[in-house]
């Protein structure tokens, strides 16, 4: 065909879940009783009060007009209240909080606000694949820092070469971390802030899993001194309230640091539907019990999975955070070969670790997005792989 897409599209790696989706379709066509522990998409309903709020908001004529670019004032006020409650931090709803159309939207647009051609963005490997492609879309140069088991999947800033650090404008962090479930503490954030300040780097801390933890509340980077001078945080309703379909998130940070993202968004979107923001307000108004309910679901599912896989002898990196369990491939084979075996021999779909970058090789990810009894069945089948 004569009409060609741009190189940035041609150069994209194949969507990692596409191969898995195809393998899954094949297995289903063969009539396999498939247990999908692959994709992290919560399968249960958001709190009823949020649905009611949406229904009420639908009847308000004003809500069907263009929303505010930066988000409804009432939504931003609710976020400010939540940040105060959750972290005891004060943010000005006017300028320090920005509504996002899902956190992915804000993460994708951030590099357009910060990177010139050749500027470096430091990204986690393993990590969320869209970080790399959206940095490339903006003409930036992705440089992946390795996350290693022996460092509990926290970066060692001393390993980042001086010339790379000098060219870096952005540092992406994601704690609690997808895919490993790793968590960061304040001592780590202090190191990250010191590194960022030494090199005039903006930190983008992706806090999508901020409310999905077992007992230890993950902190905010803003709780360390100097955090506000060099970081923004991006939050999501997707995992906290089991609401991936809403497309609702927000960014928080110093007004000057948020401003470039705001300017990009002014040009590409016109804000999120008020009806969705009303659902978010209703969710935050429920306070801790709503997130406790979500945490309880994952806690029981995690238990359901852990028992058989650890008894079978799988090595697991498990912090209790996120919707995932990160498991070492038990045989001398690649992640892809192991995952293909799990699918073909046991009808269990799990995600190969290298789908998140080269450092994920040798591991696989279990997602807890099915009923506990199905998860237990899936884990029991994975256990059988070690017994045959
Ligand atoms: C799920 C997830 C998100 C959430 O994205 P939304 O656009 O808010 O649904 C963000 N970052 C990571 C690492 C995730 O796994």
Q: In this structure, are residues 100 and 250 in contact, taking their beta carbons and an 8 Å threshold?
A: yes
Domain ranges of the chain: 7-45+289-385, 63-286
295 CB within 6 A, ligand 1: no
Determine which residue's CA is closest to atom 12 belonging to ligand 1.
Answer: 208
pLDDT in tens, 195-219: 999 999 999 999 999 999 998 999 9
Looking at CATH, the fold of the domain delimited by 7-45+289-385 is given as 3.90.1150
**pLDDT at residue 17, as a whole number:** 63
Q: What is the DSSP string of 308-345?
A: HHHHHT--EE--S-SSEEEEE--SSS-HHHHHHHHHHH
Tokens representing 335 are 């992640």
Q: Can you give the pLDDT at residue 388?
A: 65
The tens digit of pLDDT for each residue in 297-306 reads: 999 999 999 9
| Residue 181 token pair | 């479930």
Average pLDDT, the chain: 96
272 Cβ inside 6 Å of ligand 1: no
CA distance 388 to 341: 12
Average pLDDT over residues 253-257: 98
Q: Hey, which residues does 14 pair with through a beta bridge?
A: none
Task: Indicate which atom in ligand 1 lies nearest the CA of residue 103.
Answer: 8
Phi/psi of residue 306, nearest 5 degrees: -65, -40
Q: Of the ranges 22-31, 79-88, 278-287, which one carries the lowest mean pLDDT score?
A: 22-31
The tokens of 286 are what? 């429920």
- Minimum-distance ligand 1 atom for the alpha carbon of 174: 13
Ranges of beta strands (E only) in 5-157 are 35-36, 97-100, 120-125, 141-146
Mutate to test the pocket of ligand 1, among 206, 276, 322 (most ligand atoms within 8 A of CB): 206
What are 121's strand-pairing partners?
Answer: 142, 170
Please report the pLDDT score of residue 360 as a whole number: 98
pLDDT, tens digit, for every residue of 53-74? 999 999 999 999 999 999 999 9
Q: Which residues fall within 8 angstroms of residue 263, CB to CB, at 6 or more apart?
A: 113
Percent of the chain with pLDDT over 70: 98
Does residue 312 have a pLDDT over 80?
yes
The model's pTM: 0.96
The SS3 of residue 140 is coil
Of 18-27, 230-239, 349-358, the range with the lowest mean pLDDT is 18-27
Cβ–ligand 1 distance for 206 under 6 Å, the answer yes
Which pLDDT tens digit goes with each residue over 119-161?
999 999 999 999 999 999 999 999 999 999 999 999 999 999 9
Angle between helices 372-387 and 335-346 (to 10 degrees): 110
* pLDDT score recorded for residue 387: 85
pLDDT at 16: 62
Task: Kindly give the distance from the C-alpha atom of residue 249 to the centroid of ligand 1, in angstroms, as a whole number.
Answer: 9
The first and second tokens of residue 169, run together, are: 């404008």
Reported confidence tier of residue 27, pLDDT bands at 50, 70, 90: confident
| pLDDT reported for residue 13 | 78
Ligand 1 centre to CA of 127 (Å) is 11
**What distance lies between CA 344 and its chain's CA centroid?**
29
Tokens of 217: 């509340």
Does ligand 1 have an atom closer than 6 angstroms to the CB of 123? Answer: no
Q: 63-286 architecture in CATH?
A: 3-Layer(aba) Sandwich (3.40)
Ligand 1: distance of its center to the CA of 100 in Å? 12
**Cis before 344? omega within 30:** no
Indicate which atom in ligand 1 lies nearest the CA of residue 128.
Answer: 13
The rounded distance, in Å, linking the Cα atoms of 152 and 162 is 23
Mapping DSSP to helix (H, G, I), strand (E, B) and coil, where does residue 381 land? helix
Distance CA(345)–CA(386), nearest Å, equals 12
Q: Is 234 helix (H, G, I), strand (E, B) or coil?
A: strand
pLDDT at 221 exceeding the cut of 90: yes
Q: Which two tokens stand for residue 319?
A: 């912090």
Q: How confident is the model at residue 176 (pLDDT cuts 50, 70, 90)?
A: very high
């Amino acid at each position: 065909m004569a009409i060609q897409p741009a190189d940035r599209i041609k150069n994209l790696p194949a969507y990692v879940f596409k191969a898995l989706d195809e393998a899954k379709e094949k297995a289903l066509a063969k009539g396999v009783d498939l247990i999908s522990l692959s994709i992290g998409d919560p399968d249960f309903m958001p709190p009823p009060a949020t649905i009611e709020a949406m229904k009420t908001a639908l009847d308000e004529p004003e809500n069907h007009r263009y929303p505010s670019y930066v988000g409804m004032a009432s939504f931003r006020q609710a976020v400010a209240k939540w940040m105060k409650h959750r972290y005891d931090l004060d943010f000005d709803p006017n300028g320090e909080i920005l509504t996002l159309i899902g956190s992915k939207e804000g993460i994708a647009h951030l590099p357009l606000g910060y990177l010139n051609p050749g500027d470096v963005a430091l990204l986690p490997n393993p990590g969320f694949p869209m970080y790399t492609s959206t940095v490339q879309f903006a003409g930036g140069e992705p440089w992946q820092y390795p996350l290693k088991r022996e460092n509990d999947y926290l970066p060692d800033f001393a390993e980042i070469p001086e010339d790379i650090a000098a060219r870096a404008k952005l540092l992406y962090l994601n704690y609690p971390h997808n895919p490993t479930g790793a968590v960061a503490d304040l001592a780590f954030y202090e190191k990250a802030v010191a590194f960022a300040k030494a090199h005039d780097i903006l930190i983008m801390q992706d806090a999508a899993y901020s409310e999905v933890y077992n007992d230890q509340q993950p902190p905010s980077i803003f709780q360390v001194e100097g955090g506000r001078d060099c970081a923004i945080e991006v939050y999501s309703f997707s995992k906290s309230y089991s609401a991936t379909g809403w497309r609702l998130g927000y960014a928080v940070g110093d007004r000057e640091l948020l401003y470039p993202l705001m300017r990009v968004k002014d040009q590409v979107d016109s804000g999120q539907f008020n009806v969705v923001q009303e659902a978010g307000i209703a969710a935050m108004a429920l306070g801790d019990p709503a997130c406790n309910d979500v945490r309880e679901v994952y806690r029981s599912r995690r238990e359901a999975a852990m028992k058989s896989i650890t008894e079978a002898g799988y090595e697991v990196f498990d912090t209790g955070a996120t919707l995932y369990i990160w498991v070492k491939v038990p045989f001398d084979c690649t992640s892809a070969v192991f995952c293909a075996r799990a699918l073909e021999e046991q009808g269990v779909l799990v995600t190969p670790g290298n789908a998140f970058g080269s450092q994920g090789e040798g591991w696989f990810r279990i997602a807890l997005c099915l009923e506990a009894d199905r998860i237990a069945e899936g884990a029991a089948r994975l256990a059988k792989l070690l017994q045959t």
